[in-house]
């Protein structure tokens, strides 16, 4: 069976972007592959190194969301990255052979330098996190990596590092392939990519009232300044959620209403908001269970960590032998 590896930084509660950009895909993958899904707590330090105190609680919140959406520890290995020290060892080895220009050309690195304000990101950890990501992926000899389009350059960098390692020493690691998710970018309330860092997210654990309030103020087609102005749905960030949550008939109706100014933006969004709230109802019920039993989350992570340590240990024994260490 082929192996899949993916992870998320523990930034706390997950949002709709995580659901449609990763989690729904993870649910399908755990039925077809040997999956390793990890809490990327070392990666969290790349931007939050000055305030790491919230990582533990954010980890629990995030894994609650994983389990509530349907990730099954009987089918997937769920674990904390920092508990498997072999990740750091392989990262160190990769850092010795990775040219700095490979890291500087990373488009996500450049984008986040522009977008994230109020933090000093001129650190090796932030520049070099794709090298750690390469170690995360290859230590389990992953064949495929599920990512959105914005993360695809990281996988390509992993492939380059693998090729360099295999050429310098001997072929140990497979070159992982990219598995692009169907919904690649989820717009946030302000039209940018949905992100907790941007303050534009709708969280999976938001109450129905919170979901209604947030999505009601979501930005729409800027051409619709007045109620009587016609608009273009494809230029409206909120319409992207209609295409995910609404029926074909509803999509056709709001599209026609937008272009003819026959429907107002708020009225249009209410059609979609109803479906979002209904879709997340089962999730909220499951999450209430884990909120009452946080110890169960820790037990699941501990069990997965032991499985990950075993697999990573075998890989590093092979790597050390190859390098004569």
Is residue 282 assigned to a domain? Answer: yes
Q: How far is CA 114 from the centre of its chain?
A: 20
In contact, 187 and 155? CB cutoff 8 Å: no
**103: in domain:** yes
pLDDT in tens, 264-279: 999 999 999 999 999 9
Token duo for residue 27:
């649910």
Of 293 and 318, more confident: 318
What whole-number percentage of the chain has pLDDT above 70? 99
Domain count, the chain: 2
Predicted local confidence at residue 259, as pLDDT = 94
Residues 252 and 316 in one domain: no
Q: How confident is the model at residue 149 (pLDDT cuts 50, 70, 90)?
A: confident
Position 32 in a domain:
yes
Considering the domain architecture, whether residues 307 and 218 belong to the same structural domain is answered as no
Q: Exposure string (b/e) for 54-69, b if CB count within 10 Å is 16 or more?
A: ebeebbbbbbbbbbbb
Residue 121 or residue 73, greater confidence: 73
Q: What is the pTM of this model?
A: 0.89
The mean per-residue pLDDT over the stretch 293-320 comes to: 96
Average pLDDT along the chain: 92
Task: Give the Cα separation of 292 and 281 in Å (integer).
Answer: 17
Angle at 45 between CA 142 and CA 133, to 5 degrees: 15
**DSSP β-bridge partners for residue 34:** 3
> Are 298 and 283 members of one domain?
no
On whether residue 199 sits in a domain, the answer given is no
Residue-wise pLDDT for 205-231, tens only, equals 999 999 999 999 999 999 898 888 888
Residue 172, domain extent: 3-186+294-323
Average pLDDT, integer, range 48-61: 90
């Amino acid at each position: 069976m082929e192996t899949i590896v993916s992870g998320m930084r523990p930034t706390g509660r997950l949002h709709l972007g995580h659901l449609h950009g990763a989690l729904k895909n993870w649910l399908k993958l755990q039925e077809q592959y040997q999956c390793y899904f990890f809490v990327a707590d070392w990666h969290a330090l790349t931007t939050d190194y000055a305030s790491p105190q919230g990582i533990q609680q954010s980890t629990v919140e995030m894994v609650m969301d994983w389990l509530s959406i349907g990730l099954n520890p009987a089918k997937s290995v769920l674990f904390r990255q920092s508990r498997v020290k072999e990740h750091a060892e392989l990262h160190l080895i990769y850092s010795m052979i990775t040219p700095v220009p490979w890291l500087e050309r990373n488009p996500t690195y450049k984008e986040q330098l522009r977008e994230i304000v109020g933090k000093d990101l001129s650190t090796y950890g932030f520049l070099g996190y794709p090298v750690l990501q390469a170690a995360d992926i290859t230590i389990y000899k992953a064949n495929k990596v599920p990512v959105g389009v914005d993360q695809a350059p990281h996988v390509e960098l992993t492939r380059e590092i693998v090729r360099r390692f295999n050429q310098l020493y001997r072929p140990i690691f497979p070159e992982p392939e990219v598995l692009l998710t169907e919904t690649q970018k989820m717009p946030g309330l302000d039209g940018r990519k949905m992100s907790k860092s941007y303050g534009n997210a709708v969280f999976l654990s938001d109450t129905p009232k919170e979901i209604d309030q947030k999505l009601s103020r979501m930005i729409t087609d800027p051409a619709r300044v007045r109620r009587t102005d016609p608009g273009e749905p494809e230029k409206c960030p909120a319409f992207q959620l209609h295409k995910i949550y609404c029926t074909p008939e509803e999509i056709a109706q709001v599209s026609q209403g937008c272009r003819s100014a026959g429907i107002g933006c708020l009225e249009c969004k209410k059609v979609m908001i109803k479906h979002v709230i209904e879709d997340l109802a089962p999730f909220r019920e499951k999450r209430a269970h884990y909120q009452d039993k946080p110890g169960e989350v820790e037990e699941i992570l501990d069990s997965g960590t032991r499985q990950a340590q075993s697999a990573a240990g075998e890989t590093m024994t092979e790597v050390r032998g190859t390098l004569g260490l």
